[in-house]
Structure 1
Amino acid sequence: MIEPDRDKECGNATIQAPNALQAPNTLSQSDPLTQHSPRPVRLFISTGEVSGDLQGSLLVQALQRQATKRGLTLELLAMGGDRMEAAGAKLLARTSAIGSMGIFESLPFVLPTLQVQRQAKQYLQQYPPDLIVLIDYMGPNLAFCEYFPERFPDVPIVYYIAPQEWVWGDQWSWGVKLFRSDLVVKATQRILAIFPGEASYFQSKGGQVAWVGHPLLDRMQEALDRDRARLALGISADQLTIVLLPASRQQELKYLMPVMFAAAQQLQAKLPHVHFLIPLALTKYRARIEQAIQRYGLQATVLAEPQAASSDSAATSLTLQAIAAADLAITKSGTVNLEIALLNVPQVVMYKVNSVTGWILDRVLKFSVPFVSPPNLVEMKPIVPEFLQDQATPENLAQASLALLLDTDRRQAMLEGYQSMRLALGSVGVCDRAAEEILNLVAASDTAVKEEN
């Protein structure tokens, strides 16, 4: 077991001391993975940030279900967060708070990331995995794409939720390719795609791709509807409610929250009876968010998940209850946009990075994308309004929000767009399909090694 008093703090990361973990049983490369194998199959899963921890926890649960069907015992080692640990993974490092968007924004996380990776590498050198799963978390996991094939040439690598180069395209600047689909394709034995466009893109680059669908389809099966969510939160049926989702990263408190709260202030002036719900992505953000609520004079309730949101149940998630109960969401871009869409709640999306970072991306690197929010990316069409950088102003957010609250036709058009998008996400059972792909690859790899011997 992991003993918390042996953890070492590193910036925003918690690195587990190697001897705080029990030494795993060794799975001999010559032993076939039959239904009667007494030895655990050791998987290493690498992810980070709040969204990666969520996706990782869903996969961990599915891997355990599928392993049980096959009579296998799994040893799941991970870089992740509370959700993954609650689901049954043994954490080598806590990375749910390590993450940023942008150039300068990433600098504070460079050292913690390197230390976390070094810790994981040292542990895995002593106890090699039978398969490696990389989930999202582009920067650190691309570094692993270079390291693992050299250090563990016979260990299969799966990338689940690959970098979004399929959105960005083959962008070059000053003769340098900005993104590395070639590295992902070369390093992996399987890419598990969650979007149809993602699957097509990596297939065109020569990747071994399986489109499994989007894992939120599974998670949202348990989510409460509007009436039950309002009942759970004690909100009356006629209360005008807006959910604000400003931050899952530290930098977003600085760049997104002031703009979003200023927009909320304008809405409150026009709609005096409105009430705001603000779920916390991480409990450590509570103080700054509550101070901002006071500063902007918002009629708001802060919702914090018990035990830093370690529970993975969609039915009990306060964040999902707040979204389901709302008449509108004003939100940062990210995975949460898809959760909002699947709950049929209209939304306004925003994102900002440091102005210098934005200038470099635009003027120097000539970086451009058609959309940033998942609902728009699924079919590459504008279902939800997006306000980025200079367009992300309180006035624009407030105006778009009022339009969705007061214009029935505009609201209905967005809900119809959600329905079309939902059909393109695949079918329920995503996480189990991903788990089956992974375990099949482990079995195939073990059989190949046995035949060579």
Structure 2
Amino acid sequence: MRSQEKRRVFISTGEVAGDLQGALLIAALQRQAARLGWKLEIVALGGEKMAAAGATVLGDTSSIGSVGIFESLPFVLPTLQLQKRAITFLQQHPPDLVVLIDYAQPNLNIGSYLHRKLPNVPIVYYIAPQVWVWAMNSRNTEQIVKITDKVLAIFPEEARYFEQHGGKVVWVGHPLVDRMQSAPSRDAARAALGIPPEQTVIALLPASRRQEIKYLLPVMLQAAKTLQDKLPQVHFWIPLSLEIYRQPIEQAIARYGLQATVRSGQTLEILAAADLAITKSGTVNLEIALLDVPQVVIYRVSPMTAWIARHILKFSIPFMSPPNLVEMKSIVPELPQEQATPENIVQNALDMLLNPSCRQQILANYQQMRRALGEVGVCDRAAQEILQTLPK
């Protein structure tokens, strides 16, 4: 590769977690390119964090995301419009390299199109869809293997799965291992937030998707109200994933009469300061685990979606939250659908707060989980693997 020639890299991702992972990767790509004397132009489907990291964002996908059949319908048209905009740009300005990050069906659509129309452009899938956990058939797996020149796996089990299905795979580890290097200590986080050392802090993480405001926030706040009645010294902290969720969350807090603080931009501080987290399922579960904070994980979709998944699609998975997926065993309690009741949340929360042996067992499980996440330097290893696929 000629040292001063600028190469165009297209990165596609969606939702809040994808925007974060994309931003971490962009910083690493720029570091590794600079080390080699290369120049990169990065264009993307992503969000504010990727834009801040230096990408030209063709469309904001950070707030477009859902889980479930009916829940996803409002996002179909916006997603297709963004895909069309990106494809039009790429037709006019072909990339030298494509990187797909999570964002299952939209990225499989974009990747398949580019594989057909620009067959000489390498495609790398970083943080592939978790087909190794939830695939109901082999179609998506076969599609990922077909369109990609390389899959960068973040879990050991994921790497084994794609290798068994004929993919070219490199296990790089989980990028949150890098991100958590900059996380504050508990004492520093409490000092930054003005939290007294003796106060019991529970972090509530209800939503990074609109549907979670509807299905998770009420049950989570009902549980919080019961906990507040039982533990008068408790204070709740809610880090916002997106500012658009502030109003519905603050209104709900007022209705339940909770002693709670809502903050933007201080997620790591709030998590590090917490004695316990009650949280949606997602990447944030790993952040909480890496900070050694016990957590209760809940997830819910609409009753109709749940019924169709169980009875028609025969959808069944062993676990949902990433800490449990790492080891494929129960490290943190998960409360799916009908089990996600205020009573069950409260029972698990009180066990973790008041039962030292329960808390110690979770912390011991976290230590074991860490070993399967790889060593520090994940993002730079991923960036090196990606740049190696660039045409010379």
1:56 Cα deviation from its structure 2 partner: 0.1
Instruction: Tell me what 1:337 maps to.
Output: 285
Q: TM-score, normalised by structure 1?
A: 0.86
Instruction: Tell me what 1:386 maps to.
Output: 334
Structure 2 unaligned spans of 5+: none
Task: State the alpha-carbon separation in 2 of the partners of residues 69 and 207 from structure 1.
Answer: 29
Letter in 1 for 2:143: L
Instruction: Tell me what 1:416 maps to.
Output: 364
1:359 Cα deviation from its structure 2 partner: 0.4
1:208 to 168, 171, 176: 168
Measured against aligned partners, the alpha-carbon deviations of 1:384-415 in whole angstroms (never above 9, x if no partner) come to 00000011111100110001001000000000
3-state SS of the aligned residue for 2:143?
A: helix
Instruction: Tell me what 2:295 maps to.
Output: 347
Is residue 251 of structure 2 the alignment partner of residue 291 of structure 1? yes
Is residue 52 of structure 2 the alignment partner of residue 86 of structure 1? yes
Measured against aligned partners, the alpha-carbon deviations of 1:85-134 in whole angstroms (never above 9, x if no partner) come to 00000111111011100000000000000000000000010000000000
Q: Does the 8 A contact of 1:337 with 1:373 survive in 2?
A: yes
3-state SS of the aligned residue for 1:92?
A: strand
Task: State the alpha-carbon separation in 1 of the partners of residues 310 and 34 from structure 2.
Answer: 50
Instruction: Tell me what 1:254 maps to.
Output: 214
1:139 Cα deviation from its structure 2 partner: 1.5
Letter in 2 for 1:380: M
Alignment of 1:5-404 (within 5 A): 33-34=1-2, 36=3, 38-169=4-135, 171-172=136-137, 180-305=140-265, 318-404=266-352
Letter in 2 for 1:251: Q
Q: Does the 8 A contact of 1:145 with 1:183 survive in 2?
A: no
Instruction: Tell me what 1:438 maps to.
Output: 386
Letter in 2 for 1:399: Q
1:145 Cα deviation from its structure 2 partner: 2.5
Task: State the alpha-carbon separation in 2 of the partners of residues 325 and 413 from structure 1.
Answer: 20
3-state SS of the aligned residue for 1:224?
A: coil
Measured against aligned partners, the alpha-carbon deviations of 1:256-299 in whole angstroms (never above 9, x if no partner) come to 00010001011111111110000110001111000000111111
3-state SS of the aligned residue for 1:158?
A: strand
Task: State the alpha-carbon separation in 1 of the partners of residues 256 and 312 from structure 2.
Answer: 36
Letter in 1 for 2:133: V
3-state SS of the aligned residue for 1:154?
A: coil
Percent of matched pairs sharing the same residue: 63
Root-mean-square deviation (Å): 0.8
Instruction: Tell me what 1:310 maps to.
Output: none
3-state SS of the aligned residue for 1:141?
A: helix
Q: TM-score, normalised by structure 2?
A: 0.99
Task: State the alpha-carbon separation in 2 of the partners of residues 284 and 165 from structure 1.
Answer: 31
3-state SS of the aligned residue for 2:71?
A: helix
3-state SS of the aligned residue for 2:57?
A: strand
Task: State the alpha-carbon separation in 2 of the partners of residues 341 and 352 from structure 1.
Answer: 21
Letter in 1 for 2:31: R
Is residue 375 of structure 2 the alignment partner of residue 427 of structure 1? yes
Task: State the alpha-carbon separation in 2 of the partners of residues 197 and 386 from structure 1.
Answer: 20
1:146 Cα deviation from its structure 2 partner: 1.8
The structure number with the bigger radius of gyration is: 1
Task: State the alpha-carbon separation in 1 of the partners of residues 310 and 230 from structure 2.
Answer: 35
Measured against aligned partners, the alpha-carbon deviations of 1:63-99 in whole angstroms (never above 9, x if no partner) come to 0000001100000000000000000001111110111
Structure 1 unaligned spans of 5+: 1-32, 306-317, 448-453
Task: State the alpha-carbon separation in 2 of the partners of residues 243 and 437 from structure 1.
Answer: 36
